[in-house]
Amino acid sequence: MRPIRVGVTIDAPRERVFEYLSDVANHVEFCDHYLKDLRLDRIESRGVGAAASFRIAFGRALWGEIAIAELDPPHLIVLDGHTGRLGRVGVHAEYRLTQHGREGTRVDYEVSTTPATRTDRLREALGGRAWLRWQSGKAVRRLAQVLEQGRPASRAVRVAAG
């Protein structure tokens, strides 16, 4: 699938935004409207290799996993994983952080998927892509609210098998 790009400007220093996003446990705060039952795959939730599994709230119960594949402080966070039936749809996501003004940060989020079968491609064409664009836009807006207002976590993240 062609990449989906959404962005937001956050009134917070870039280092603080990077620190927050490089911890996958924090993602439940701004993604829980479409990624349900987020669980850490290991106790350490920061840094390269930190991973989480989740259920996607789109039609049938689809599960996915995502892991931090690359960190380039304070500019880039790369996530790779898979989702869909039998985990056959590859997922690649990037957060690019740029300085905006004196104390602001521009967050550009890009996500793309690699469907493995015609059924997966059809699911994307018949609403999956539009749904993901809508949910991603909502997520980055919620991210801005969390970082600007300093709202506490609404839900605890569990560790898988723990």
If one counts the domains in the chain, the total is 1
Work out the angle at residue 18's Cα, subtended by the Cα atoms of residues 16 and 24, and round it to the nearest 5 degrees. Answer: 115
pLDDT at 134 over 90: yes
- pLDDT (tens digit, 9 = 90+) per residue, 35-83? 999 999 999 999 999 999 999 887 667 899 999 999 999 999 999 999 9
Whole-number Cα distances in Å, 156 to 27, 67, 78, 129: 11, 19, 24, 29
pLDDT at 112 over 90: yes
| CATH number for the domain that contains residue 66 | 3.30.530.20
Q: What residues have CB less than 8 Å from 119, skipping those under 6 apart?
A: 85
Task: Residue 67: give the domain boundaries.
Answer: 4-159
Strands (E), the chain: 4-10, 35-40, 51-57, 61-72, 76-83, 89-100, 104-114, 158-159
Count CA atoms within 13 Å of residue 127 on its CB side: 2
